[in-house]
Amino acid sequence: MTAFEGSATPHGALAKIEAILLPHLHPQEATADAGAGRGQKATISLGALSDLMEERAFGLLLLVLALPCCLPFVYILPQLVALPMVVLAAQMASGRRAPWLPETLRKRHLPVAALLDVVQRAKRYGGWLERFAHPRIPAFTGDRATRIIGALLIVPCLSILVPLPLTNTVPGIGVALTAIGLIERDALFVVSGLLIALAWVAILVIGGPALIYYLVNFLLSTSAPA
């Protein structure tokens, strides 16, 4: 049984994710407004989360995993979700129609309340963007295009995997926009997300070594004897 059976399908990708996660939140966590232990009890495994997705599982899974990466001041979650994102992108590139996760990743648990908090923050700051998503240029989101999209997504997902400053937020935003495009079959979101993510990674690859070289030279020149 899917998360949407027996009720109207929620409109919008973020609402769909919220509908999947809410039933897994403990009642005491859902009613408590404060408390030191809030959000630490209810968890959901990546395997269960994948099984609850419907026909657009790749897009929904990538979105729920990318959200913690693209919001500032979210800790721990990005490190938990980075590797599964790479695996999902690689599977899209290989032509799989539905996600498959190895048992080690299926058993990885994510805190439900923390994920819901991330979804709420995304709805608050960027939920308006979802209203512009609708089916557009279907050839760009078909099966053949999905393989190309998956191959391109591997690059920003690998960037998120790197535990260095500036490597996850903008690529995470790009992956999230691409995921919304996959869910809503909107080529404009897919292309925009890929361009944002890949451009930022290119800036890091080109500008990062140059910045390090400049800093090293600056430190050497200031420490050199007069």
pLDDT digits (tens, 9 = 90+) for 39-61: 457 888 888 888 887 657 888 89
Query: Which segment of 1-5, 60-64, 125-129 scores lowest on mean pLDDT?
Result: 1-5
Task: Using CA atoms of 201, 205, 211, 214 in order, give the dihedral in degrees to the nearest 10.
Answer: -170
Average pLDDT of the chain is 80
Alpha helices in 34-186 (DSSP H): 46-52, 57-70, 77-94, 103-106, 112-130, 143-161, 169-184
User: Residue 152 — pLDDT band, cuts 50, 70, 90?
Assistant: very high
User: Residue 34 — pLDDT band, cuts 50, 70, 90?
Assistant: very low
Q: Which CA distances in Å does 223 have to 114, 209, 211, 213, 219?
A: 46, 21, 18, 15, 6
